[in-house]
Structure 1
Amino acid sequence: MLPWWAQLGELILPRSCAGCGAPGDILCTACRCHLQQVPSPIHRPRDLGTRVFALGPYSDIRRSAIIAMKEQNNQAVRDYIGAVFAAGLDYLRARGDIPENFCLVPAPTRPRSARARGGDPVEQWCAYVAKHLPGVSYLPALTLRQQVTDQSRLDAAQRWKNMRDAVQARDIVKHVAGRPVIVLDDVVTTGATLAAAVATLRGAGAVVRGGLVLADA
């Protein structure tokens, strides 16, 4: 049973599914099942610098869940997606697609955007996985220059140009030098952000062994 203050909140602002809007839970059973897909490799015309896997297509359910996490600060959904990533990484590890032990690095975001969202969801997924999956650590080693244009407003060619030299390594990146690294992100479109992240990490001495995203757009 929910505590009294949570029950009161349910009466004032009833919960609805972040995936489809159905009343009753943060994610309904159907949407949970939809999000629990086996990761599959993605392909792009331009080389991303490493193998990248997606946990599913950029469906309406995934889009709505991402909006809930990024724009509505839905922490409960963030935790659930963290568990989805943990399951996906464990699957890839069992198949031998990624190493047994590795460090997760979240794809970079602008610090101002992260603050506005109550924290970076991708970094929170990394933290969740590192807490629940043995042999995994995480390090927020990358950031974006403040003047980078919002990628959602750009076409494919503009996105690649926009991300050129846009990803910066933080001082803590030295801790992944020589270590196997997996990059996490929410959505891959052209792959420009992931490719820039991979190149920056490799330039700092990391051994990038793959990438995993929630949705393939």
Structure 2
Amino acid sequence: MGISAWLGVIRDVVLPRGCAGCDAPDAVVCGECRELLDRTVVFDMPGTSIGRGYACAWYGGAVRQVILGWKDHRDEECDGPLSEAMAVLAARCLQATVSGMHTVLVVPAPSSSASVHRRGRRHTAVLAAAVARACRDMGIDARVVPLLTMDHVRGRSVQMGGGQRSRRVSGRIAVRRPELCRHAHVIVVDDIVTTGATMRQCVDALRSSGAQVVTCLSVAYTPQPDAATVRDSAARDDTSAA
């Protein structure tokens, strides 16, 4: 066992962690909170091939606590549970959609330079990697390609309303290697979809460069009146066949 592993063991003995969602002892994400990440929320996503996107869960309560701890408080131990949830979502919702596609590019939604600096990494790349692995398990040649950039964006989106979010990213998202987009099938991945402004900007930028955006996936979706539906385990066969 390496030094870092020993330090981790010592830390866990001295300062045992609790669940990121509910603080239940001795779990990164406890079973009950993990079940909350096993929903299928369907939301409208214009410009994509199938016209809709999918999320693992509604954004609120324990799910909100898990995501905020992960992305803004550097709880990187949540990489595992969140990646698992995204892989399950991809397998559930994309099987019929990507069938017959030879190659898929999985594109993480971009963060502002300030956000990347504050967090110390591009956190959505972790989610994108999980989706790409799930696609490869389905026999699709999938790889993560960080095609999108977000430039000159100020202010934290969590503090903004819908109109402010849209104006914040309007015209700020660009494709860094448009030659890779031509005739490519693309899946966009993000952590949270609130108003959909960032996702729509991503889709528009990719399509303008010649990509065919299949759908968008996220960990969570913020409830919007009459804008989404959730399908429980009894309806998952219908979802996967969509």
Q: TM-score, normalised by structure 1?
A: 0.87
Aligned residues: 210
Q: What is the aligned partner in structure 2 of residue 74 from structure 1?
A: 75
Contact preservation (8 Å) 1:92, 1:98 = no
Give the 3 Å change call, closer, same or farther, for CA 117–7 of structure 1 in structure 2. same
2:208 is the counterpart of 1:203: yes
- Please give the per-residue CA displacement for 1:122-169, whole angstroms capped at 9, x wherever unaligned: 111112332454122111111111234332232222222222101121
Residue number among 5, 8, 12 corresponding to 2:7 in the alignment: 5
Shift of 1:69: 1.1
Q: Which runs of 5+ in 2 are unaligned?
A: 223-242
Contact preservation (8 Å) 1:180, 1:208 = yes
- Name the amino acid aligned to 2:93: L
Q: What is the aligned partner in structure 1 of residue 115 from structure 2?
A: 113
DSSP-derived class of the 1:64 partner? helix
What CA distance in whole angstroms lies between the structure 1 residues aligned with 2:196 and 2:134?
Answer: 28
Residue number among 186, 195, 205 corresponding to 1:190 in the alignment: 195
What CA distance in whole angstroms lies between the structure 2 residues aligned with 1:79 and 1:208?
Answer: 26
Give the 3 Å change call, closer, same or farther, for CA 144–93 of structure 1 in structure 2. same
Shift of 1:208: 0.4
Q: What is the aligned partner in structure 2 of residue 24 from structure 1?
A: 26
Contact preservation (8 Å) 1:48, 1:191 = no
What CA distance in whole angstroms lies between the structure 2 residues aligned with 1:55 and 1:132?
Answer: 14
- Please give the per-residue CA displacement for 1:72-129, whole angstroms capped at 9, x wherever unaligned: 21222112211211111111122x2445542111111112312321312211111233
* Matching of residues 87-98 of structure 1 within 5 Å: 87-94=88-95, 96-98=96-98
Shift of 1:24: 0.7
2:34 is the counterpart of 1:49: no
Shift of 1:30: 1.1
- Please give the per-residue CA displacement for 1:159-209, whole angstroms capped at 9, x wherever unaligned: 222221011211x34223211101111111111000000000111111101
* Matching of residues 138-157 of structure 1 within 5 Å: 138-157=144-163
DSSP-derived class of the 2:171 partner? coil
- Name the amino acid aligned to 1:197: C
Give the 3 Å change call, closer, same or farther, for CA 194–32 of structure 1 in structure 2. same
What CA distance in whole angstroms lies between the structure 2 residues aligned with 1:115 and 1:31?
Answer: 29
Contact preservation (8 Å) 1:108, 1:144 = yes
Contact preservation (8 Å) 1:188, 1:215 = yes
Q: What is the aligned partner in structure 2 of residue 137 from structure 1?
A: 143
Give the 3 Å change call, closer, same or farther, for CA 147–212 of structure 1 in structure 2. closer
Contact preservation (8 Å) 1:148, 1:163 = no
Farther off after superposition, 126-135 or 15-24: 126-135
- Name the amino acid aligned to 2:56: L
What CA distance in whole angstroms lies between the structure 2 residues aligned with 1:190 and 1:178?
Answer: 28
Contact preservation (8 Å) 1:107, 1:184 = yes
Contact preservation (8 Å) 2:104, 2:143 = yes
Farther off after superposition, 28-37 or 154-163: 154-163
DSSP-derived class of the 1:49 partner? coil
